[in-house]
């Protein structure tokens, strides 16, 4: 069963197609006033999706290894076109 955050991420992937985007944008749309409270949940989801090769993570500056959302800016891109839910 998918949670609401995963559904929102897949929706953003459909909208952005093959483009990189900031994952925090999902939280900002869902929770405009307190989006930072959900960074840990988003990070857990990104780790799961990265481990299953469903997303690609691009860290800045180039060559930086992704460790935490709040330590360096990252963008993500979905590897496969998500199916409709």
Res 82 pLDDT > 70 = no
The CATH code of the domain at 4-78 is 1.10.10.10
Strand pairing of 55-59 and 74-78? antiparallel
Domains in the chain: boundaries = 4-78
Give the integer Cα–Cα distance in Å for 53 and 58: 13
Radius of gyration of the chain (CA): 12
pTM for the model stands at: 0.78
According to DSSP, residue 62 is labeled T
3-state SS, one letter per residue, for 33-85 = CCHHHHHHHHHHHHHHHHHCCCEEEEECCCCCCCCCCCCCCEEEEECCCCCCC
Which tens digits make up the pLDDT trace of 9-51?
999 999 988 899 999 999 999 999 999 999 889 989 998 998 8
């Amino acid at each position: 069963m998918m949670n609401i955050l995963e559904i929102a991420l897949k929706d953003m992937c459909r909208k952005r197609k093959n483009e990189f985007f900031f994952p925090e944008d999902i939280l900002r749309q869902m929770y405009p006033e307190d989006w930072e409270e959900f960074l840990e949940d988003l990070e857990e989801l990104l780790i799961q999706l990265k481990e299953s090769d469903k997303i690609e993570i691009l860290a800045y500056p180039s060559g930086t290894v992704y460790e935490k959302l709040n330590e360096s800016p990252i963008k993500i891109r979905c590897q496969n076109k998500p199916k409709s839910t």
